[in-house]
Amino acid sequence: MNDQVVATLLGLILCGALGLLVPRLISRVPEPAEKEPAEAEDEPEQPEAPGEPEPPKRAYADIGADSGRALRSAALSALSGALLGWATGLEWPLVWLLPLVPVAVALSVIDWHTRLLPRVLVIPATLAAIVAVVVVGLATGERDLLVRALVAMLAVRSFFWLLWFVRSAGMGFGDVRLAAPVGLVLGWTGWGALAVGVWLGFVIFALPGLALAIAKRDRSLLRKPYPYGPFMVIGALVGLVWGPTIAAALWG
């Protein structure tokens, strides 16, 4: 077997196995404090539509206990890991990409059900990814890739912070936090992967809601709150796997 096949199988098996633990990871996330007023930076990703009451948040333990959650999480993780292994081969980026897969799946599931991205998952995952990237970059002498990854992380996080600050995009600070590891891993892959990954996140997020609003001729659907985290993760995955190819086709 060549390196690409080995890496694909490694991603499939490792991420699939870790994906089985996603429900347990979700269930162990501490619930947000109910009595204390929420900080501005921890508000849901989008404001509720005028006149529409905020639905009660599901408990993380209940989300983790959903029927079939483990199998669905394992399948998503295995598919993502296989794609990353196929695109990367037996190269150093797998050191941080594969462990991030089940965390990204857990965050996507939580965000989809609650429109929250818990810092207790995002921050440790970000710090671990930064340490791995820095160690690999220094140990292998790939300092140019290391600098590009760190610059991309700061640039993408700053961009999302600006969107959050302006509030015109209706984002929560959880998206800003998640933008850091997304920028880091895409930046190591290349500027093309970074541009495609971030751009596709917005496109994939916007198109379904827009198509639904047009089909039903109901503009109020455009104001309905949707989680952005899962779409950011999908965009990042596409950017990592096909980003350089798409960028070359679009921009030469």
pLDDT tens digits for 153-209? 999 999 999 999 987 556 789 999 999 999 999 999 999 999 999 999 999 988 876
Q: Tell me, what's the pLDDT at 120? A: 97
pLDDT tens digits, residue range 203-252? 998 887 677 667 766 666 566 667 899 999 999 999 999 999 999 998 87
Can you spell out the DSSP letters for the chain? Answer: --HHHHHHHHHHHHHHHHHTTHHHHHHTSPPPPSSSPPPGGGS-SSPPPTTPPPPPPPPHHHHHTSTTHHHHHHHHHHHHHHHHHHHH-SSTTHHHHHHHHHHHHHHHHHHHHHS---HHHHHHHHHHHHHHHHHHHHHHT-HHHHHHHHHHHHHHHHHHHHHHHH-TT---HHHHHHHHHHHHHHHHH-HHHHHHHHHHHHHHHHHHHHHHHHHHT-GGGGGS----HHHHHHHHHHHHHHHHHHHHHHH-
Residue 41 reports pLDDT greater than 50: no
At 40, is the pLDDT very low, low, confident or very high (cuts 50, 70, 90)?
A: very low
